[in-house]
Amino acid sequence: MTMRIPLSAPDVTEDEIQAVSEVLRTPHLSLGPKLEEFEEALENYIGVSNAVAVSSGTSALHLSIRALGIVEGDEVIVPSFAFIAVANAVRYERAIPVFADIEPKTLNLDSRSIEDRITYRTKAIIVVHTFGCPADLDAILDIARRHRLQVIEDCCEAIGAEFRGKRVGTFGDVGVFGFYPNKQITTGEGGVVVTDNTAIANSIWRLRNQGRDYSKGWFQHSEVGYNYRLSEINCALGVGQLKRIGQILKRREEIAQIYERHLSGNRHLRLPVLLAPLRKISWFVYAVCLDEQFDEFQRDWIVEEMGRRGIGTGRYFAPIHLQPIYKRQPLSQLCPVTEAIASRTIALPFFNRIEEKEIEEVCEKFTDLVESSTRFCARHQTA
């Protein structure tokens, strides 16, 4: 269903459309100059020595798992409150995703929960910077150092976010970004792995193109790789988008502030933090949490009623450990904070070109529905 005010919408300029069409007039549609230009621009922006662009954020996660040498039976700690790709990418290599809980303020991995999950089989942690707010990298890197674990930073929702003045993606062994149309910048489909480790970068570089090893002659294959290449068409769009990222992130921060202004008086809502210590947030979505007296049933009713009024909202995220394919988890892996928050969270329309009067309309309809849902539930309980 298309919404009058969608949950998200890409922002592509005429110049970017022009740049994409120009690629189509050249003989280079894949593995050409735009790929190199996009990768170099990403290296400069993120502040890292190697960027290897790939076909999606999920393939970036998968190749990171492969390049870090994670194999069948190894355990990788991941948040359950996240996009399902973080668990799927681990499973592609027959390793085991172990779900850790989050802390309620920033919705990022709780370092105590990470420590609880560590066993002699744990090899790595996938740290997601949820909704663009950097996780507690001090605590997580300290755990990783003490237990000799590798760290994959999933920055798919957080390009441009900073921790202690440094961009995310530069803290872990590798950083992973995605460029699906709902992200801060898009290439249609696309992703990138960044790392300062040249051996890891070379491994990912080979794996994205069938494991081909150029240094040993044209068709020399020493491992089984994939076709995870990103076309020149996508890269041309990415180059254009990355040029505007400063403006884009500024606009998104303004939108978050406007939402905050309109919703902060509502006692039923827990709003995202606008400022977190040591951090610069890169706004991905504006997700609010209903307070403890609400349940999933009321949240879902609000989502449906917003949809009827032409406004797209999202149930971000459904806990991964409750998904049918991941359900058989031992009781020791329960994630109570994730479950409580996921059942009451609702993401509101959030995109660069949303207008202030649209935000006002969203907030008005949303607060009305929140109010009605309290009455409607009270009626059910007394009936």
DSSP 104-162: TTT-SBPHHHHHHH--TTEEEEEEE-GGGPPP-HHHHHHHHHHHT-EEEEE-TT-TT-E
Return the closest-CA partner of residue 108 out of 126, 86, 124, 128: 128
158 binds ligand PLP, rule: CB under 6 A = no
128 binds ligand PLP, rule: CB under 6 A = yes
How far apart, in whole angstroms, are the C-alpha atoms of residue 149 and residue 194?
18
Smallest distance, ligand PLP to C-beta of residue 92, A: 12
The SS3 assignment for 299 reads helix
| Residue 346: strand pairing partners | 288
Query: Cβ closer to ligand PLP: 180 or 259?
Result: 180
DSSP 242-275: HHTHHHHHHHHHHHHHHHHHHHTT-TTEEPPPS-
Residue 79 in tokens:
């948040």
How far apart, in whole angstroms, are the C-alpha atoms of residue 297 and residue 307?
15
Q: Which stretch binds ligand PLP (CB under 6 A): 70-78, 80-88, 273-281, 332-340?
A: 80-88
The SS3 assignment for 216 reads helix
Asked if the peptide bond before residue 177 counts as cis, ω within 30 degrees of 0, the response is no
Smallest distance, ligand PLP to C-beta of residue 89, A: 8
Smallest distance, ligand PLP to C-beta of residue 83, A: 4
Query: Cβ closer to ligand PLP: 85 or 287?
Result: 85
312 binds ligand PLP, rule: CB under 6 A = no
Residue 228 in tokens:
């995870």
Query: Cβ closer to ligand PLP: 193 or 354?
Result: 193
| Residue 30: strand pairing partners | 231
| Residue 75: strand pairing partners | 96, 122
Residue closest to ligand PLP (Cβ)? 57
178 binds ligand PLP, rule: CB under 6 A = yes
163 binds ligand PLP, rule: CB under 6 A = no
180 binds ligand PLP, rule: CB under 6 A = yes
39 binds ligand PLP, rule: CB under 6 A = no
How far apart, in whole angstroms, are the C-alpha atoms of residue 135 and residue 176?
14
58 binds ligand PLP, rule: CB under 6 A = yes
Candidate list 52, 70, 82, 102; residue touching ligand PLP; CB under 6 A: 82
131 binds ligand PLP, rule: CB under 6 A = no
Give the DSSP letter of residue 328.
Answer: -
The SS3 assignment for 15 reads helix
56 binds ligand PLP, rule: CB under 6 A = yes
How far apart, in whole angstroms, are the C-alpha atoms of residue 238 and residue 232?
10
Phi-psi region of 92 (alpha: psi -120 to 50; beta: other; left: phi over 0): alpha
Q: Which stretch binds ligand PLP (CB under 6 A): 77-85, 98-106, 200-208, 259-267?
A: 77-85
Q: Which stretch binds ligand PLP (CB under 6 A): 25-33, 150-158, 229-237, 260-268?
A: 150-158
Query: Cβ closer to ligand PLP: 135 or 236?
Result: 135
144 binds ligand PLP, rule: CB under 6 A = no
Binding residues for ligand PLP, how many (CB under 6 A)?
Answer: 14
83 binds ligand PLP, rule: CB under 6 A = yes
Residue 166 is among the residues annotated as catalytic for this protein? no
Smallest distance, ligand PLP to C-beta of residue 240, A: 18
Candidate list 169, 191, 225, 319; residue touching ligand PLP; CB under 6 A: 191
Under a CB-based contact definition with an 8 Å cutoff, are residues 15 and 21 in contact? no
Asked if the peptide bond before residue 317 counts as cis, ω within 30 degrees of 0, the response is yes
Candidate list 52, 85, 140, 288; residue touching ligand PLP; CB under 6 A: 85
259 binds ligand PLP, rule: CB under 6 A = no
Smallest distance, ligand PLP to C-beta of residue 82, A: 5
Residues tagged active-site: 183
Binding residues for ligand PLP, rule: CB under 6 A, are 56-58, 82-83, 85-86, 128, 154, 156-157, 178, 180, 191
